[in-house]
Amino acid sequence: MVGDSAKNPENWLRSGETVNCPPQFWDGVLRRLGTDMPAFTLDAWLRPLAVEHTGQGLRLSAPTPFHRDRIRARFLSRIAQCVADETGQQLPIELGVANGWRQRVLNPPAGSEGVDSGVADRQVKSDPPAVKTQLRRAHAQRPQQFEAPEPRDEDREPLPYTFDNFVVGPCNALAREASLALAQQRQRGLNPLYLASEPGMGKTHLARAVVTEARRNGATRGLYESAETFTNRFMKALRTKNTEGFKQRFRQQCDLLVVEDIQFLGSKRATQMEFFHTLTHLVDAGVRVVLTGDRLPRDIHDLEPRLRSQITAGVVAEIEPPDAKLRRSILRSKAAAGGVGLPDDCLDLLVEAVRGSVRDLEGALIQVVASASLLKRPIDRTLTRNALHKLSPGILQPRVLDVNQVIEVVCRFFGVSHDTLASRSRRRDVLMPRQLAMYLCRRYTDEPLAVIARRFDRDHPAVSNAVKRVERCILESAPLRYQVEELTARLDRLR
């Protein structure tokens, strides 16, 4: 049960009893940890920890011994440093495994499912209005020169995206180089910069990287907004008759403007006109502007022609879905940043199975890492396949192989040539590999029997008979069954 000391942010650290730490405390630690580790690492390893103050220090309870050992080996020293930064004092940290563990939701949303009501009640009781007031005061005292947008749920705790941790490939090279050049003011003619892509491809990463790099190069008055927030601010200014204050904010008080999700402005005539005049003023004044959208400006429905023209007056850079090579590089980078050892065969499986956005790749990696942690198992091909199946049952649709691929695998296994398999020899060391090759071609390809038969200089009844013979012999012969299992394993690796 939570003591009264947990209700007072000034007292909980001095409490001599075991209390749940205020949710805002651990959120602050996670934000600090997020400055140098990727989001999937936080989600897979650190957010599941239950956090208590024991009277002498902190107790971190992991869901499994494997999870606890991973925290101790990889993250404990960094956690201790962030706790010290957050509290202003060094606290002993005890690691353990929770009995009857349930993942603690530090900030449970209203009506959320799967949250233990007792835990939720205790969290609410430990966060009275006095705590919120003090936290708001503390937050107000911090310098906030770059203002973030009213964030979407996925943006509530933005991490420090940089150009260094953006993985580059042919599909995003132009967008990355244009963003970096604009942030460093290395080249004229880039303003405004418009980044277009489907969701989850990296345009928000680049937009935030521009903010980070611009701040590093001396920009101190930046605004980072969503188009929805811009619209809401404008509507409020009209209602309160404070349009001058609105214009001063966006036209006079910033040296960098980033606006995301420009497609939101479609059909909003009044907001479009205000944004057009704001954009024109800033570009004429030499203020850098970065815009993002989920489609090209020409494809935004009901966008005023003059606004579209102003948006495209600089550079439009489209980010396309990553190819296999870039997907592999992204997964290697994220796994390495999170201290995760990802075997090559598991990496190959992820690259082949997840062909969508970068966000999809990260989600799949989180699923694999979390499964390994919670099940106390090493990451291997079987675990990866199971994790991906739970993520999306249809994600692992097997790739159909070519007849030549199947024949090559069989020839290598038995040490024979394709010409030998297609010969008229009836020797057993040729006949059995030939029949197995026919059987596996039927199983792993979409080719009809007649096409398979031609590759062996036979007719299609010969292939049909070979398939039936192998199916019957598998049940009777253990050595043959072993050969089929080994060959199918090799072919599965090609799918």
* pLDDT of 124 higher than 90: no
Task: Please state, rounded to an integer, the average pLDDT across all residues of the chain.
Answer: 77
For 155, residues 6+ apart whose C-beta sits below 8 A from its C-beta are 148, 149, 204
Q: Which of 404, 429, 343, 338 is nearest to 379 (CA)?
A: 343
* Token reading at 396: 């692992």
The proportion of the chain whose per-residue pLDDT surpasses 70, expressed as a percent, equals 80
What pLDDT band is residue 161 in, cutting at 50, 70 and 90?
confident
38 upstream amide cis, omega within 30 of 0: no
What pLDDT band is residue 116 in, cutting at 50, 70 and 90?
very low
Q: Helical H runs in 315-380?
A: 324-337, 344-353, 358-375
What pLDDT band is residue 104 in, cutting at 50, 70 and 90?
very low
Q: Which domains does the chain have, with CATH numbers?
A: 4-134 (3.30.300.180), 153-318 (3.40.50.300), 324-391 (1.10.8.60), 403-492 (1.10.1750.10)
Average pLDDT over residues 356-383: 83
Query: In this predicted structure, what is the pLDDT of residue 433?
Result: 92
CA distance 16 to 54: 7
Nearest-Å Rg of the Cα atoms of the chain is 30
DSSP state of 73: H
CA distance 67 to 487: 36
Amino acid in position 427: R
SS3 312: coil
What pLDDT band is residue 495 in, cutting at 50, 70 and 90?
low
SS3 234: helix
What pLDDT band is residue 130 in, cutting at 50, 70 and 90?
very low
- Provide the whole-model pTM: 0.54
On whether the CB atoms of residues 301 and 267 are closer than 8 A, the answer is yes
**Could you count the other beta carbons within 10 Å of the beta carbon of residue 270?**
11
Question: Which segments of 221-287 are extended strands (E)?
Answer: 222-226, 256-260
- Give all strands of the β-sheet with 315-318 in edge-to-edge order: 222-226, 256-260, 288-293, 193-196, 315-318
CA distance 448 to 238: 70
For the stretch 49-82, pLDDT in tens is 888 877 777 888 887 777 787 788 788 888 888 8
* pLDDT of 358 higher than 80: yes
Query: In this predicted structure, what is the pLDDT of residue 452?
Result: 92
* Token reading at 330: 């992204």
Average pLDDT over residues 119-140: 39
Average pLDDT over residues 253-270: 87
CA distance 385 to 227: 39
CA-CA-CA-CA dihedral for 248, 251, 255, 259, to nearest 10 = 110
Q: Is 454 exposed, middle or buried (0-12, 13-18, 19+ CB in 10 A)?
A: middle
| Minimum mean pLDDT range among 93-102, 104-113, 281-290, 419-428 | 104-113
For the stretch 3-35, pLDDT in tens is 333 334 444 445 444 545 566 778 888 888 887
First to last CA, the chain: 54
Query: In this predicted structure, what is the pLDDT of residue 436?
Result: 93
CA distance 362 to 48: 18
Average pLDDT over residues 126-152: 41
Question: Which segments of 266-314 are extended strands (E)?
Answer: 288-293
Average pLDDT over residues 455-470: 90
For 280-310, b/e burial (b = at least 16 CB within 10 A) is eebbeeebbbbbbbbebbeebeebbeebbeb
What pLDDT band is residue 195 in, cutting at 50, 70 and 90?
very high
On whether the CB atoms of residues 23 and 42 are closer than 8 A, the answer is no
Q: Quick one: angle between helices 76-87 and 65-74, nearest 10? A: 70
Q: In which residue are the tokens 């499986």 written?
A: 349
Residue with more model confidence, 399 or 152: 399
Query: In this predicted structure, what is the pLDDT of residue 329?
Result: 87
Average pLDDT over residues 430-444: 91
